[in-house]
Amino acid sequence: MNKYLLPLPALVLATTLSGAAQAATYRAAGGSASFAYRVTVVNVNGSMTGVTANVTLDPQDLAATKGTVTVPVSTLKTGITLRDNHAKGAGALGTAQFPNATFELTNLTGGKLTEGQTVATTATGKLTVKGTTKTITAPIKATLSGGKVNVSTQFKFNPYDFNVRYQGGADSVTVDVTFVLAAN
């Protein structure tokens, strides 16, 4: 055997055993979002289904992560059909014209994912609701489990900043989003 070829397999094996990873495309489907909002004197809680995500992620270098999360606001449910219809109406969310809210990740604080451990990090990106885009920052928790990444966040924003008007509605809504990323 050629003595110059021997180091190559050893290098490949060492790199594999060290856990070095490369960025890969991860996708999520079937995630969920929930919200808490106050209208006049009534607390309104609701949910949305079908949250999706498309992310380029290197578990060893979270700062390199980029991607988009889509929340179908057209699936909004609060438990009262009339209230749901008002919330989806043109004056509020305008879901006929803007069925989705999106978050485009532009920066994620560093760190790395380790099997079974939860990492707390901060995401900065562009949130688009009802056709209006604003930069927001949100805390993220991510857990690597069996090759999948469980992601959750909770953040607040002012719906009036996004031209979402609901008569008697508060100037703050709390949103929770969860989804599971799987490598393609």
User: How confident is the model over 61-120, as pLDDT tens digits?
Assistant: 999 999 999 999 999 999 999 999 999 999 899 999 999 999 999 999 989 999 999 999
In a domain, 16, yes or no: no
Whole-angstrom distance, CA of residue 109 vs CA of residue 64: 9
97: helix, strand or coil: coil
The total domain count for the chain is 1
Res 22: pLDDT? 79
Q: What's the whole-model pTM score?
A: 0.86
How far is residue 74's CA from residue 77's CA, in Å, rounded to a whole number? 9
Task: Classify residue 95: in a domain, yes or no.
Answer: yes
Q: Which residue has the tokens 């978050």?
A: 103
In a domain, 6, yes or no: no
Report the length, in residues, of the chain. 184
Tokens of 100: 């989705």
Predicted local confidence at residue 5, as pLDDT: 36
d(CA 111, CA 177): 21
Average pLDDT, the chain: 89
Q: How confident is the model at residue 21 (pLDDT cuts 50, 70, 90)?
A: low
**Is 70 exceeded by the pLDDT of residue 7?**
no
Q: What CATH code is carried by the domain that includes residue 72?
A: 2.40.128.110
Q: Is the pLDDT of residue 39 over 60?
A: yes
pLDDT, tens only, 111-167? 999 999 999 999 999 999 999 999 999 999 999 999 999 999 999 999 999 999 988
Residue 57, token pair as written in the block: 């992620």
Confirm whether 98 is domain-assigned.
yes
Domain containing 133 equals 23-183
Within a domain: 10: no
Q: Find how far residue 59's CA is from the centre of its chain.
A: 16
Q: Does any domain span residue 5?
A: no
pLDDT at 75: 98
Residue 2 lies in a domain: no
Whether residue 26 is predicted with pLDDT greater than 50 in this model: the reply is yes
